[in-house]
Amino acid sequence: MAGRTGAAPQPRHRLRGHTFELRSCATELLMDGIDRVGEGAPATVGVTGGPGPARTRTEVTGPDPPGPAPR
């Protein structure tokens, strides 16, 4: 998906079988990634584990942020 400010409902909807806390965490990670890399960059939201009390891992991956400007 393209990381855009209005994109947060899409992963929340796809994660509707998970807890509110997990959906909130995934949304926060996505928004942090957009702030870090820039709007429109490709992003992937991943969840390993399953619904319930078991340990779950949430991650958002995307391109590395641009480096500092050359001198």
Q: How confident is the model at residue 71, as a pLDDT?
A: 64
Under the phi-then-psi rule, with left for phi > 0, alpha for psi from -120 to 50, and beta for the rest, what region is 58? beta
Q: 68, 53 in Cβ contact below 8 A?
A: no
Task: Give the mean pLDDT per block of 10 residues along the chain (71 residues).
Answer: 62 80 83 77 77 74 67 64
Structure-token pair, residue 35: 């702030």
Q: How confident is the model at residue 29, as a pLDDT?
A: 82
